Structures are given as C-alpha cells and as structure tokens.
Amino acid sequence: MHYVGFALQWLMKALAVVLAITVLNFLIVRLAPGDPAIVMAGEAGAADSQFLAQVRKDFGLDRPIYVQLATYVGKVLTLDLGRSYRTRRPVGDMLLERLPATLLLTGTAYIFALIVGALLGAIAAAKAHTFLDSVLTAVALVFYATPIFWVGLLLILVFSVQLGWLPPFGMHSLIPVKGTLWQMLDTLKHLVLPALTLGLFYVAVYVRLTRASMLDTASLEYVKTARAKGLPEWRVLTAHILRTALIPIITFAGMQAGNLVGGAIVVETVFAWPGIGRLAFDALFQRDYNILLGVFLISALMVVFFNMLTDLAVRVADPRVGSRT
Amino acid sequence: MKTSLSRSGSCLAVALALVGLVLFEAGHAAAQPTRGGTLNSTLWPEPPGIVIGIHLNAPTLLPSSKIFEGLLTYDFDLKPQPMLAETWQVSSDGLTYTFHLRHNVNWHDGKPFTSKDVVFSLTKFIPEVHPRSRPTFQRADVSAPDDYTVVLKLKEPYGPMIRSLDVISAPIVPAHIYEGTNYRDNPANRHPIGTGPFKFDEWKSGQYIHLVRNNDYWQKGKPYLDDIYYRFIPDSASRALALEQGEVQLATQNDIELVDVARLKKLPNLRVDTKGWEWGSPISWLEMNLRRAPFKDVRFRKAVMYALDRNFIRDSIFFGMAKVATGPIHSSSPFYTSDVPTYPYDPQKAKALLDEMGLKPDANGIRVKVSLLGLPYGELWDRLSQYIKQALGQVGIEVTLEPSDVAGWGNRIANWDVDMSTTYLTTLSDPALGVARTYISENQKKGVLFTNTSGYSNPEVDRLFAEAAKEPDQAKRKELYTKVQKILVDDVALAWLVELQWPTIYDARLKNVIHNGLGPNDNFADVYFEK
Amino acid sequence: MRRILRRVMQNRGAVAGGVVLAVILVCAVAAPLIAPGDPMATRGRPLLPPGGQFPFGTDMLGRDVLAGIVHGARISLLIGVMSTFAAVLIGVTVGAIAGFFGGWVDEVLVRFTEFFQTIPSFVFAILLVAIMRPGLASIIIAIAVVTWPPIARLARSEFMSIRHREFVEAAVLSGVSQGRIIVTEVLPNAASPLIVVSSLMVATAILTESALSFLGLGDPNHISWGYMVGAARTVFRQAWWLSVFPGLAIALTVLAINLVGEGLNDALNPHLKGRIGA
C-alpha cells in the first residue's frame, strides 16, 4: 500500500517535471535566430517569399508562439513527437533509428568505465600511498585531463592510420557484411575505438572517485570499531566499507546514466558514429526544432528515471541514509 | 574441274566473310561499353528528400537526377540536347515553344509517360514547390494538343526559357501519383517514381541510398551500371580514405577537402575532373551592405577589390580548383565578356582610395572597423573569412569575424542585418535566371534569401536586365549583357572572388562521368566501368 | 594561510602542477614577446612540419603553430577563469539561499537547479552559443550556465550543515541580520570545499571550451587550442603536428590545474580528504 502510494506520487512528480522541462526547452530553442525555412532556403540556393511563407505555414511557424506551444504539448501528451521539418518523417521514428547506436556506444563505455574504474580505484585505495597507487592515480589523472576529442584523434592515428588494426570511422563497414554473426563482429570492431575514447575518461573519473570514497569511509569511526573488534579485513571491506563507499559512486553513475543520450556528441563527431547526439547537433543547426525537443525529452525522462533509481539504490545500500542531498 | 574450283572459291569466300564478320564483331565489341558493376558514391550530408523541386540542395540533386528527367539537358556549351523531348521548335517571335515528346517511355511503376505528366509538372507541381523555377513557368500557358505534344505560350519573349528545361529546373513528375495530393507530404516522396535510368530501391537512414537499373529504360541497352549506392560518410578525411582504398568510386563537390584533392590527383587509380559545372556556374563573392557606410561609397568597394589577392585565394584557399571571377557572369556562359575593368591585387591603390575618402589611419593603423559574417559551410569558407580579415587588415580595414550557423547567417543576410558577408551562388545557365536576381532593384525583398540583399540599385542596370530577358535575338542579348557587366564591375556591386570548379574524383575505370554541362548531376545512363 | 601553503608545498604533485601552470601563465602573459604580431597572420608556407624557423610547424594558411599555442593560452585561461567565476557567482548565490533559508525557497531552487541538470549539458551549451551572438562573451556565459548546478548543490549542502552549527544559531539569536551571518559566519566555513571545486572547475571549463571550439563554435577572431585541433581535422593524417601540440597544451594545462586543485584540497580539508570527488 505504502509503496503504491509512493510510486504514484513519484510518477506525478516526474510527469510534472518533464512537462515543465518540455515547455521551457520549447521556448529556449525558439530563441535561436532564424528558422528551418531560412535553412532550407539557404540550402536550395534559391528562395522567394512565397516559398518561405509556404514552408512556414506547413510547419505551423506562422501561428503565435503560445498556440504552437499548446499544440506541441498536446501532441507530446499523446506520445506524438511531431514531424521533422526537414524530412517530414515522424520524430519518433528518426530518434528510434539513431538511439540504439548511441546506447551501444555510451552503454559499453559506461559499463566498462564503471567496472574497470571501480576495480582499479579499489585496488588503489587498498594499496594507498604505495608505488602502485601513485601509478594508478597518475594515469587516471592524465586520462581525466586529456580532451576526449584529442584522445579519439590520437587513437585513430595510431590504431587505424599507422597500424591499420581497426577501422577509423563509422559503425559498419562500407561493403556490407553478410550474416548476422559477421555483422555483429563488424559492429564490434567499429565499436572499440569510440567506446575506448569515451570510456577512458570515465575510467579515470571512477578510479579517483572510488579511491577517494573508500579511503574516506575506511577512516570512519564505525569501520575503525569493526577493525578493533577483530573482524577479518575482507569482512570489514565488504560489510562496512563497500556499502558506504558505494554511495557516491552510485550517485555519480546515476547522474551519468541520465547523460547516456546526449553525452557522446564529441565522440560521435570524431568517429562519425551515427548516434542521437550527432542527430541533435545537426538538428540544432537546421533549426529542426521537433527533433531537438524530442532528444531533450528523452534525456529528461532518462535523468528523472535514473535519479529515482539512484535514490532507491542508495537507500538499499545504506538504509541509514534518509534524504541525503 | 570448273565446278570444284568454283566450289572451293565460294567456300573461301564464305570463310573470308566469316572471319571478317568475327573480326568486325571483335573490333566493334572493344568499343562497346561494358555492362554491369556497382557504383559506390559518397553523399554528404544525408539529403532531406529525394524529389527535385521539393528539395533543391546539392545532396538531393545527386541521386534524384538519376531517377527523374527533364524535357532537355545541356552540353558543355549549354546547348540544349533532347531528353524526354525528342524535338522542339521555337516560333520566330519567341512566344511559342512546341515540344514533341518521346514515345514508349514508361514510369518506374509501368504506367506510360504522356504529355499529361508534362503539363501537370509545369503548371501545377513546379509552380507550387520550386522557388527558383516558379517565376519562369508562371509566364507560360502550357497545353497538350495530343498525348505526345506540349505547347508553351508566352505573353512576351523570354530568352532563358529554352535553358530552363533540365531536370533540376523542371523535373517531370508523374501526374498519376501527385495530382490532387499535398505534394510535400505525398508518401511517394520516400519512394519516388521517375522515368530515369535508375529506379529507387532503398534508403537506409544514416547509411545509404540504393538505386537499381531501370530495365525498362527508354534508351535501349542503357544504363550500363547495375546499381548505385550513395553512402553517407560524415567525415571528409574518411571519405578521402574510402576513395583511396576503392571502397567508393566517386566523390564530388564538397565531399573531399580541396587540400586532399591535390594529393588524390597523383594516385594512378583516380581521376579528377573540374568540368561539369557549366550549368550551375557557381560564383563566390564578398557582399557589402550598400545601405551602410562606408560601403555606400564606390571608392571603398574598389579599395576592397584592390586589397584582395584573388590569385592567392584561388591558389591557397581553393588549391587551384577555382578560376578568378571578373564579374557577375560566369566565364562559361555565352554572354560572358572579359572586357570589363579589372582590379589586380594592389594594396597601395586601396590605401590611396581610402585616403581619398578621408579614412585616414589612426595610431594603430586602423582606418575603419567593419564586421564580416562568413559563410558557415565548413573549413574552406572559414579560411576564406580569415584571409579576408588579414588582407583587409593590411590596408587598415579592421575586420571582426562574426561566427554563426547557417540559420543565423541566412536570417541576418535576408534581413539586411549585416556589414559584409561571403557566399556563393549558382548563377545558372542564363543570366536572366541566376544573375539578375542579385542586382535588380525590385528584387530587394527583406526576409528572403538570395534576392538583392546588398541593396544595389541602378535604374540603368534594371533596364538592361529587363530588356535582355525579353530579347529574342541572341546577339542583341549579348550586347545588353556586355553593357550590364561593364557597369556592375565598374560599380563594384559585389566583390566577386572566384568561380568555383568543384572537383569530381572518380575511379579511373569509370567512363563518361562528366560528359555534359550538368556534370555529376547528369543521369548517368552512359556511365560504365571499363574492364 | 602560511600553514595551508606549506601543506600544499608538501604535496609533490601539487608543486609539479604549480610549476607547469606558472609556465603556462607566463607564456600567456608574455605571448606578444614570445611570438610577436598577429598569431593569425600567414608567416610561412602552409603545412610545414616542425623544425627550423617554425618549431611547431605551420598550418593550412601558413600560420605559426607556436604562436597559436602561446596566444591560445590567453584565450583558454581567460575563458576558463571567467566562466568559472560566473558559475561560482550564480551557484553560490542560489545554493546559499536554498541552504540557508530552507523551506519552500529551498524546494523551488532545488527544482530550478534540477531543471538545468536534465538537459544534456554539452548540447545545452551548444544551444546557448547558437542563440547568443557567438563570441567570447557568449562562450563564457554558456559554460557558466551549464556548470553552475554542481556548485549550487555543494553550496546548498554546506550551508545547510553549517547553518545548524552553534555559532550560527548564536548569531541568529543575538539578532545579527541574516545577510551579515551569511557573509561573516557561514561563507568562510563553506569556503574550503568551494575553493577546491572551483579550481577543478576551471579545468573542466577549459575542456568544455576546447570541445566547443573543436566543433567550430568558438570565436574565430581569437585563436584557441580547441579551434586549432578542430581546424586540423581535415589534414590530421598528413599534418599530425597540427593536432598533437594544441591537444598536448590543453592536457598539460588541465592536468596542472587538477594537481594544484588536489593539493589545495588536501591542504584545506585534511579530514575531508577525497570527499570532493570528480
């Protein structure tokens, strides 16, 4: 009973938040100068006022802003994200086409980063102030400081141009590969460099975060007490340190999960990865408002969802935590 | 005795004839194009659509010009050649154009092509969707006396009419698919039906567009290629790599960075061709807002011309793949004249003119401050903006570069909210179609791009352009356009920079890639892989 | 103060970072001396490899890469510092008000902060640059708008925890105005983690600016490291030096700032060692 109420309350709140975000995004996006009609005119190398008027009328851009807003919100509530101005295809279709590519990239990178980073961070914490720790921390710092696009370019230079081991761009080979298994392997081959580029940065983040968090927890009173009681080290580690240390990691991971959708624009650009980040980027410059708003909406939904998940996970990890900020 | 000789004689004759026949066939076969093969071409960015008219940007034109056709096409000298129209006559007063259409042409869905489709395209479809050709065909009364004849009646003569009938200006679309529908939303737009040598097969978003041979094409035996893939590769370095490694066999226009082209030219398996833009005739220029000072003063504009080294622009920014522009009309046009004032690179002269104007340099050497809204179409144009800033800086004109994206750029220029801007425009196959719109006073339309956005206004120029459009006699037209070019160049209506000669890079085994004035936008019926 | 400085100096990493940062600062300030003239002017033939007259080579327009690096330092540091300053201003104000006053004020401001965190931050930054007339100011504002939420959250939690400490309650009871309390009592105690986070944020701001410039959204009137790498993409196979040197500059600067920031963290909050994570 209690949980149903809680879930419903949460749902209402989430919907309200998402709606407010949609309205605000709608207005902000319109602030950019120009509109899709002008972009199309620019590309066509020709325009007359009839063309511009027609295009604007077709897109409903000639109606007052509050009418446009109401229409859009109404559509969104019925799960209709509208049509792309440019291709006239439903936004939902276009997003669904590109979303898997991004999720594959960011999902792989984040899971890789979380596991490897947390592991290395734990090792660094366990061996704190030794040579190994210094090396790990230094390497993490280097990858944290290096701009992602540069890492990507360097990886391409080394592994594609010089060594020729991996393809330099795209998600599929140009010459189509036959057979599902071969296709999967082909995609995997293309996934390595971009996922590594994105992942290396986040590995660094998780290494530092895990190390700091574990060291921090290890010096807490109740841990010292547990040690003093004579509990074996591994029990101290798992039963006491890990649970509390996990909290900031979970929190951060939750924050990043919300970033799954838009967080890879730079990598998608460097590697010509056909993802949704790049779709949003292009949509912005083509003033294809509906696509841009669609991406923002998905992102908002994911952030809200993962925030809730994170809150739950934190409560599970440490029931003593009330409503920490 | 006699009989056996004559029999062996006739045997010999037959043998010789047979040998001759075989040799003849072999020799003939060597000259025949080989059938078969898949062409992979780059295409970037992914086009918004694949029906000409509804969309007119470059990546739309490339694939859709293989699916659709026009009444005519144009060779390197821009002389009309038959396409869907087999023959035609123009009346001596220039008011009536009669086209005799080809028989036995079918649409890709099997329905027959008739004059009904032409009438529909010219009177309904094009005026509704095609911003550039709308004014052209609104001048004409189109009728079809029978299934294979179309007649255009004009109220007054219009020189450019005969050059406005290619697939890009006047695509012929099927009436039975589009009539009575909302053209832009018609589902056939994603699966177009045309009369061209290639049929639409598949469009995988983010990956490619696939066209296949039209086995029922009206040119028997053609096209030679089995199919064409237009592959979307977002990164120019990757496109160059794909070309080098043979994964794609064709790239054109902006696909490959010009600096790479110089390198690709040296490879034995690739060819580079800069012809094929005669129909488009693209010219780039620096546009100044004549409504603002100091651009109002012609001396300032002349100073700008003298301060820019167009040879450097051609060599270092366009890497030689351009031709210095001397004026508003493209050098490949029959109406072009080089007998106009010239502005060789001469910074001293520029400084002298600015001194004359009273713009003396201050303590930092700066005479005047202006801003430049550069064309945001990529690396190449960024460098051009940077060069202009530098070059004008040398003569004391401080230029602030204003970055923008296409929408912002288009919006500001259309609304005259700009000091200087760079752009390029296809001036098309006839000055009345593509050139006049930039300079005539009545085409100053705020909010509309590619009109007279600079604000240049000269009644003499207006008069000359108007007369030349109506004039049926080609020689007289040439005279009028010569006068116009002289005035415009003397007035520096715009600071013309270079004529663009986009390279088309293709596999050396491909033949007939660029073989008329439409260049890579030709229908590719004649393209084949040499074995 | 001296005690803090001594503690920082004990951290070898911080010292190394400090030295590198000092070098970069000197380069930035002395740029007109090291590479006189306009860094965006053509100096030699295009695409010359490093060596001789041009230790870092030349780019596509024949510009000196070394000049670009040295002058680019100014832009990167300027944008990094200014945008962080703006972000801190906004963040601390919002967080302080939320944390100190609590109640519905807190609730509203928390929602407000959350809104900014739902939009993918980089896309939002791009959107903002597109909306405003692009230039140095708009990049600074865009980065600030995108990066203030974490500062607000930190400030809020700090203010919330400090607010209930005895010395603050004493001040409230004795009738001191709330403004005075915030400035004289709460702020100095909340300062340490904020300082650390701000210094790290400068590094992040530099990374963001370089990413924006890389994508072509920077200010073309001033040369910046990110712009140099972005402009070099079309020839990065042939002219590796155009991508490597500016990227190295970014990495070194961000690394140095991080080392110094961590040193500050260890010195200022020995008991909070490691609490301020990524």
The ipTM (two decimal places) reads 0.81
Q: Could you tell me what percent of chain C has a pLDDT over 90?
A: 16
Distance from CA of A97 to the nearest CA of B (A): 8
User: Is the peptide bond prior to B223 cis by the omega test (within 30 degrees of 0)?
Assistant: yes
Neighbours of B422 (CB within 10 A): 21
Distance from CA of B404 to the nearest CA of A (A): 10
Q: Do B407 and A58 touch (CB under 8 A)?
A: no
Candidates C213, C219, C220, C215; CA nearest to C249 is C213
CA distance B252 to B245: 17
Q: Is C220 helix (H, G, I), strand (E, B) or coil?
A: coil
Q: List CB contacts of A135: < 8 A, sequence separation 6 or more.
A: none
Which residue does chain B place closest to C213, by CA atoms? B403
Q: Is the pLDDT of residue A209 over 80?
A: yes
pLDDT at C35: 82
C-alpha angle B373-B379-B382 in degrees, rounded to nearest 5: 25
Candidates B68, B58, B105, B59; CA nearest to B86 is B105
Considering CB atoms only, which of A47, A101, A274 is closest to B450? Answer: A47
Q: Kindly indicate the confidence band of residue B351, based on its pLDDT and cuts at 50, 70 and 90.
A: very high
pLDDT at B311: 94
Phi-psi region of C102 (alpha: psi -120 to 50; beta: other; left: phi over 0): left
Give chains near C: 3+ CB pairs under 8 A.
Answer: A, B
Q: Is A277 helix (H, G, I), strand (E, B) or coil?
A: helix
pLDDT at A134: 84
Signed CA dihedral, B46, B52, B53, B54: sign only:
negative
Give chains near B: 3+ CB pairs under 8 A.
Answer: A, C
Q: C258 to chain A: which residues are within 8 Å by CB?
A: 141, 144-145
What is the DSSP secondary-structure string of B172-239?
---HHHHTTS-GGG-GGGGS---SSSEEEEEEETTTEEEEEE-TT-SSTT----SEEEEE----HHHH
pLDDT at A325: 41
Average pLDDT over all residues of chain A: 81
* B9-46 CB burial, b ≥16 within 10 A, e <16: eeeeeeeeeeeeeeeeeeeeeeeebeeebebbbbbbeb
User: Is the peptide bond prior to C46 cis by the omega test (within 30 degrees of 0)?
Assistant: no
CA distance A160 to A166: 5
Candidates C91, C183, C79; CA nearest to C138 is C79
Distance from CA of C25 to the nearest CA of B (A): 27
Phi then psi for B409, rounded to 5 degrees?
A: -60, -50
Distance from CA of A100 to the nearest CA of B (A): 12
C-alpha angle A212-A213-A218 in degrees, rounded to nearest 5: 100
Q: Is the pLDDT of residue B21 over 70?
A: no
pLDDT at B2: 46
CA distance B467 to B454: 22
Considering CB atoms only, which of A28, A208, A258 is closest to C127? Answer: A28
pLDDT at A57: 85
In the 8-state DSSP scheme, what is residue B341? Answer: -
pLDDT at B460: 94
Cβ under 8 Å to C: B residues 218-237: 235-237
pLDDT at B16: 61
> Is any Cβ of chain C less than 8 angstroms from the Cβ of A209?
yes
Which residue does chain B place closest to A172, by CA atoms? B207
Average pLDDT over residues B134-158: 91
Q: Do C122 and A263 touch (CB under 8 A)?
A: yes
What is the number of alpha carbons within 13 Å of residue A60 lying toward its C-beta?
15
Convert the pLDDT of each residue in A138-197 to its tens digit.
898 888 889 988 999 889 888 988 888 888 888 887 777 778 888 889 899 999 999 999
Q: Do C118 and A216 touch (CB under 8 A)?
A: no
Considering CB atoms only, which of C114, C211, C278 is closest to A149? Answer: C211
CA distance A53 to A45: 17
pLDDT at B8: 57
Q: Is the pLDDT of residue B495 over 90?
A: yes
CB–CB of C133/C217 below 8 Å? no
Which site among B43, B238, B426 would you substitute to test the A interface, given the most A Cβ atoms closer than 10 Å to its Cβ? Answer: B238
Candidates B133, B48, B401; CA nearest to B409 is B401
Q: Is the pLDDT of residue B5 over 60?
A: no
Average pLDDT over residues B391-408: 89
More confident residue, B396 or A284: B396
CB–CB of B381/B284 below 8 Å? no
Distance from CA of A110 to the nearest CA of B (A): 24
pLDDT at B108: 95
Considering CB atoms only, which of A36, A43, A50 is closest to B57? Answer: A43
Q: List CB contacts of B253: < 8 A, sequence separation 6 or more.
A: B58, B502, B504, B520
CB–CB of B467/B319 below 8 Å? no
Residue with tokens 């792309």: A84
Q: Is the pLDDT of residue C278 over 50?
A: no
CA distance C251 to C207: 9
Q: B131 to chain A: which residues are within 8 Å by CB?
A: 41, 44, 46-48, 50-51
More confident residue, A209 or C88: C88
Distance from CA of C30 to the nearest CA of A (A): 25
* B247-267 CB burial, b ≥16 within 10 A, e <16: bbbbbbbbbbbbbbbebbeee
Q: Do A174 and B132 touch (CB under 8 A)?
A: no
Residue with tokens 């009109």: B451
Q: Is the pLDDT of residue C193 over 80?
A: no
Average pLDDT over residues A84-108: 88
Neighbours of B328 (CB within 10 A): 25
Average pLDDT over all residues of chain B: 88
Question: In the sheet where B96-101 sits, what is the strand order?
Answer: B85-90, B96-101, B149-154, B140-146
Average pLDDT over residues B85-90: 93
Distance from CA of C6 to the nearest CA of A (A): 20
Q: A263 to chain C: which residues are within 8 Å by CB?
A: 120, 122
CA distance A151 to A157: 10
Convert the pLDDT of each residue in B353-369 to its tens digit.
999 999 899 888 899 99
Q: Which of A99-108, B69-78, C260-269 has the lowest mean pLDDT?
A: C260-269
C-alpha angle A93-A96-A102 in degrees, rounded to nearest 5: 145
3-state helix, strand, coil in chain C (%, to 5): 75, 0, 25
What is the DSSP secondary-structure string of B355-397?
HHHT----TTS--EEEEEE---S-HHHHHHHHHHHHHHHHTTE
Q: CA of A141: how far to CAs of A148, A248, B38, C254, in Å?
A: 13, 19, 50, 9
CA distance A90 to A75: 12
Considering CB atoms only, which of C46, C130, C135 is closest to B405? Answer: C130
Q: Is the pLDDT of residue B394 over 80?
A: yes
More confident residue, B516 or C44: B516
Distance from CA of A176 to the nearest CA of C (A): 26
Which site among A43, A105, A149 would you substitute to test the B interface, given the most B Cβ atoms closer than 10 Å to its Cβ? Answer: A43
Average pLDDT over residues B139-147: 92
Which residue does chain A place closest to C259, by CA atoms? A141
- List residues of C whose CB lies inside 8 A of any B CB: 38, 40-42, 46-47, 60-62, 130, 133-135, 216-221, 231, 233-238
Considering CB atoms only, which of A43, A48, A174 is closest to B231? Answer: A174
Distance of CA A276 to the CA centre of its chain: 10
Neighbours of C271 (CB within 10 A): 7
Q: CA of B308: how far to CAs of A47, B346, B498, in Å?
A: 30, 8, 11
CB–CB of A37/B406 below 8 Å? no
Q: Do A281 and C215 touch (CB under 8 A)?
A: yes
Tokens of A119: 């592991």
Distance from CA of B379 to the nearest CA of C (A): 7
pLDDT at C272: 47
CA distance A131 to A136: 9
Residue with tokens 């959204």: C217
User: Is the peptide bond prior to B45 cis by the omega test (within 30 degrees of 0)?
Assistant: yes
Phi then psi for C53, rounded to 5 degrees?
A: -65, -30
Q: Is the pLDDT of residue B419 over 60?
A: yes
Phi-psi region of B194 (alpha: psi -120 to 50; beta: other; left: phi over 0): beta
CA distance C51 to C59: 13
Which residue does chain C place closest to A210, by CA atoms? C277
Q: Is the pLDDT of residue B89 over 90?
A: yes
CA distance C201 to C186: 22
Q: List CB contacts of B296: < 8 A, sequence separation 6 or more.
A: B290
Q: A31 to chain C: which residues are within 8 Å by CB?
A: 131
Q: Do B238 and A48 touch (CB under 8 A)?
A: no
pLDDT at A76: 85
Considering CB atoms only, which of B238, B248, B405 is closest to A168? Answer: B238
**H/E segment holding residue B284:** strand B282-288
pLDDT at C37: 80
pLDDT at B247: 87
pLDDT at C277: 33
Q: Is A184 helix (H, G, I), strand (E, B) or coil?
A: helix
Q: Is A295 helix (H, G, I), strand (E, B) or coil?
A: helix
Average pLDDT over all residues of chain C: 82
Q: Is the pLDDT of residue A221 over 70?
A: no
